[in-house]
Structure 1
Amino acid sequence: MSIKTASVKKILLLWTLLLFYGQSQAQQNNIIPPPLHIKTIEFKPLNPEAYAPIVKLGEKLMLSFDDINSEERIYSYKIEHCDYNWQKSNLSSTEYMTGYATDRIRKYQNSFNTLQYYTHYELQIPNENNRIKISGNYLISILDDYGNVLFTRRFIVYQPKVNVAVTAHRSTDPAVINEKHSIQFAINHPNLRLNDPYREIKVDVYQNNDWNSVIKDIKPKNVRGTQLWYNHVDGISYWAGNEYLYFDSKEIRNATNNIFKTRLDNIFNTFLYTNEARGNRPYTFYPDVNGNFVLRTLDAEDVGLEGDYSFVHFSLKYNENFDQDDIYIYGNFNDWQITPENKMHYNQESGLYEARILFKQGFFNYTHVAVDKNYRINPYKVEGSFYQTENEYTVIVYYRKFGDRYDQAIGLGSTNSKRLLN
């Protein structure tokens, strides 16, 4: 077998295994990464301060993406209801939606005044052709004009029937007291009768709305009247990690903070300053958006159609065990996925890990994660973990009483580790 053939097979293996693992190795076998010509998938509520596709029943989400193949294509979408474990439920589309569960994306337009040509697509959910009727987990698939799935994304629709109070704590374990956060919460359900809360209620906990970070199947420690207490001292714990790195390419022609030079070839190239692994360095605070991104440009009014693209060049100084774990650029810019496109490669000549990824103009958070041969993500090996790190923690509550055919999402609570209670 030639080296070239082996490399191709390795890339194909990376795609087909769906490398999406977190602290609890969430079940993500229904998530399909986008092909290389689909870029800048943004899926979030209309609220500009929200980044995760989690909304109350009746609120709207916006999905947008670019196709850089230089031609207008007719794309459609399909919405499917899922159970607590993100497997497709047994409900028919008429039970969870009114209108069309599958429909065409009607809003699209070609870019203008950009070196990188693309077609920009937008879809609002719900819209005049459909409406979601019940809460729960959902999967949206984008289909090409032959009915093939281009990519999939998850979203959660909840209907608040319980109150969720969440608190973040510094770990009490002396071995990791400086590195971990412990999460505790209580569910108050005065208007919801529970016959068996240990079976009827399920919860998911997320760090920074990263799908890979989910901790599932947690049972309450105490049940007191209409309250469920999840006050396990260190039973729900996370590595605190480090603040996210960032770059801002809103001025795509000029070097700015964290960008040391730009170059124009066929399209723009943005070169970031070399990062150093921070695991053995002191913690330093600077504000971030917890791995998310905001599209923006100073060169035009409509970043959706006039935002240009550049190849962003990353480099990392990190030599520890470089031949054992792979290093990836990680963040919400690609839905927290581990794919060949965001993998860093070790350059023997420079002694650095390097990557080149195509980004639209905007402010982007990212970090470096190590991924072992079993495709498990280690979020702290390269960047370290410090209890001072600011993280957002979110709890989603699900309810399914005996005899029900689907899992309802009935509550959401969140907290920030800036408010550690110990």
Structure 2
Amino acid sequence: MTVYQKLFSVLLIGLCCTTVVAQQLQTIDRIYDSKIQTVLLFPQVGTNPNDPALTLNPPVISLDEQVPLQLEFDDLTADYRSFRARLVHCNADWQRSVLNDIEFTYEYNDNPITDYQVSLNTKIPYYHYRFTIPRVKLPGNYVLVVYDERNRNNILFTRRFSTYQNRVTVAASVRFSTDPARQFSDQQIDLALNYKGYQVISPQDDFKVVIRQNYRDDREIRGLRPTNVLAFDQVLEYRLIDLSNTMPGGNEFRFFDTRTVLSRANYIDRIDRNADRNIAYVQVDQPRSRGAYIQSDDFNGLFVIDHRETGNGATNADYIETIFTLRIPEVPNVDVFVNGAFNFWQLNDRNRMSFDSILGAYRASILLKQGVYNYDYVVQTTNPPKVDEAYIEGSYSSTENDYEVFVYHRPPAARADQLIAYQKLGVNKRR
């Protein structure tokens, strides 16, 4: 076999493996292996790479600033396992694009994850892994796929991230809804898009605008059409009167602090320090859907991992069985969930609550790493399936929220959507 034949065989095997992974892949944030916990993906900004607050930044980076994305996760099997990572390119709708790996990567798209540490002095042992995401060529949407090196079909988890290059200008603002019936509950996002100097054939049709609230993929506005096209100024205005650019303001998130188990921190009722694990009971919660809005500071649903005694949450923070209690009467034909970024905003068996008739309250037990967590409660009707976050928490236009504006475009002769503008803005920010 010649050198060229060997090279062709290697490439063919790689393409086959890629096809297998792609066929099983869901391009969402999801953990498939229950032993994988606390999957964090964030930009490495600032001078302190171990600052726990770094994880409060969304995995959205500029290709022009050379800021790397850092992946961290834990394996609770407490045995070393060999993992590999690869990238999948997606269009604006997060569907896999037709691009080949060589079109969006600088190097071979299959990397071993070799940086790991063993947990220290924890009752629940784990391996902590780190991986720096390789640079990509194109601005757009990507899914990081981590799988077992010994079995490429065994996908452990997937995480979304985006890269952008600002080629057009976005001017956005947030205010309460112009609808009198919703002005106290909803927030409205108005924006204008200046594409001067950017080549586009049909600006009113070619740009795809996405608005996201609090970095949540379940809180997005898509499909907006410009209300005004200023052709001479090369500006598109999005000031919709049909209220399609409004979102419920929600409420400030509840939170609790488990950075230490030596004493009770904020909103922790008690801690049981058993031989095999620690159990933390979050203070009993009540509904907040009635009454006036109450101002409080939060992480907008996110969380940070930290360990008060050592300052090293990566390997010194233990996993704690965290008990949530919501005191409300049993609600027929609905499921109640503890919601937050700790579960990728997904509603499943991990964060589902069950009604305890003796306590007269809903309860859930979730294994969480030590830190400070934001959360809230949502209900989901079974028939038809519908999620209602305001039923327990309420919704107020005075709530402090973060918003992101993504602008996608597929340039002429390009084969995939590119992220050509990104802006982050807030509303009701506290000074």
**TM-score, normalised with respect to structure 2:** 0.87
Q: How does 1:76-95 map to 2 (within 5 A)?
A: 76-95=84-103
Cα distance between partner residues in 1 of 2:262 and 2:352: 26
Larger Rg: 2
Corresponding residue of 1:381: 391
1:335 aligned to which of 340, 344, 359: 344
Corresponding residue of 2:78: 70
2:271 aligned to which of 232, 253, 262: 262
Kept in 1, the 8 Å contact 2:279–2:321? The answer is: yes
2:209 aligned to which of 186, 203, 207: 203
Deviation at 1:283, TM superposition (A): 1.4
1:236 aligned to which of 222, 245, 249: 245
Corresponding residue of 1:132: 136
Cα distance between partner residues in 1 of 2:107 and 2:271: 48
Cα distance between partner residues in 2 of 1:366 and 1:31: 18
Change (3 A) 1:341 1:117: same
Kept in 1, the 8 Å contact 2:27–2:143? The answer is: no
1:349 aligned to which of 350, 353, 358: 358
Kept in 2, the 8 Å contact 1:107–1:123? The answer is: yes
Give, as a single letter, the amino acid of the residue that structure 1 aligns with 2:356.
Answer: N
Give, as a single letter, the amino acid of the residue that structure 2 aligns with 1:346.
Answer: F
SS of the counterpart of 2:265? coil
Corresponding residue of 1:102: 110
Aligned-pair Cα RMSD in Å: 1.7
Deviation at 1:99, TM superposition (A): 0.8
Give, as a single letter, the amino acid of the residue that structure 2 aligns with 1:353.
Answer: Y
Cα distance between partner residues in 1 of 2:101 and 2:305: 34
Corresponding residue of 1:227: 235
Deviation at 1:403, TM superposition (A): 3.6
Answering whether residue 286 of structure 2 is matched by residue 276 of structure 1, we say yes
Q: How does 1:291-310 map to 2 (within 5 A)?
A: 291-310=301-320
Give, as a single letter, the amino acid of the residue that structure 2 aligns with 1:59.
Answer: V
Give, as a single letter, the amino acid of the residue that structure 2 aligns with 1:44.
Answer: F
Answering whether residue 39 of structure 2 is matched by residue 35 of structure 1, we say no
Corresponding residue of 1:143: 147
Cα distance between partner residues in 2 of 1:263 and 1:371: 32
Deviation at 1:49, TM superposition (A): 7.1
Deviation at 1:419, TM superposition (A): 6.3
Deviation at 1:33, TM superposition (A): 2.9
Give, as a single letter, the amino acid of the residue that structure 2 aligns with 1:151.
Answer: F
1:363 aligned to which of 362, 372, 381: 372
Cα distance between partner residues in 2 of 1:44 and 1:281: 37
Q: Which runs of 4+ in 1 moved over 4 A?
A: 28-31
Cα distance between partner residues in 2 of 1:102 and 1:377: 38
Kept in 2, the 8 Å contact 1:61–1:124? The answer is: yes
Kept in 2, the 8 Å contact 1:263–1:270? The answer is: yes
Cα distance between partner residues in 1 of 2:55 and 2:173: 21
Deviation at 1:31, TM superposition (A): 4.6
Deviations 1:254-300 (A, max 9, x none): 11220011001211111011000111132111100100111111121
Cα distance between partner residues in 2 of 1:292 and 1:246: 10
Kept in 2, the 8 Å contact 1:200–1:402? The answer is: no
Cα distance between partner residues in 2 of 1:368 and 1:356: 14
Structure 2: where are the runs of 5+ without partners?
Answer: 1-25, 46-53
Kept in 1, the 8 Å contact 2:42–2:55? The answer is: no
Structure 1: where are the runs of 5+ without partners?
Answer: 1-27
Deviations 1:299-349 (A, max 9, x none): 2132111111111100001226x1222111111112212221011111111
Deviations 1:207-226 (A, max 9, x none): 10101111112111111122
Cα distance between partner residues in 1 of 2:249 and 2:417: 30
Deviation at 1:55, TM superposition (A): 0.8
Give, as a single letter, the amino acid of the residue that structure 2 aligns with 1:264.
Answer: R
SS of the counterpart of 2:342? helix
2:44 aligned to which of 43, 46, 49: 46
Corresponding residue of 2:416: 406
Kept in 1, the 8 Å contact 2:28–2:160? The answer is: no
Kept in 2, the 8 Å contact 1:30–1:87? The answer is: no
Cα distance between partner residues in 2 of 1:169 and 1:383: 20
Answering whether residue 165 of structure 2 is matched by residue 156 of structure 1, we say no
Cα distance between partner residues in 2 of 1:418 and 1:139: 32
Give, as a single letter, the amino acid of the residue that structure 2 aligns with 1:87.
Answer: Q
Kept in 1, the 8 Å contact 2:407–2:420? The answer is: yes
Deviation at 1:243, TM superposition (A): 0.3
Cα distance between partner residues in 2 of 1:32 and 1:403: 33
SS of the counterpart of 2:94? coil
SS of the counterpart of 2:31? coil
Deviation at 1:160, TM superposition (A): 1.1
Kept in 1, the 8 Å contact 2:184–2:397? The answer is: yes
Cα distance between partner residues in 2 of 1:43 and 1:400: 26
2:173 aligned to which of 158, 167, 175: 167
Give, as a single letter, the amino acid of the residue that structure 2 aligns with 1:349.
Answer: I
Give, as a single letter, the amino acid of the residue that structure 1 aligns with 2:407.
Answer: V
2:197 aligned to which of 186, 191, 201: 191
Change (3 A) 1:29 1:108: closer
Give, as a single letter, the amino acid of the residue that structure 1 aligns with 2:105.
Answer: M
How many residues are aligned here? 388
Corresponding residue of 1:252: 261
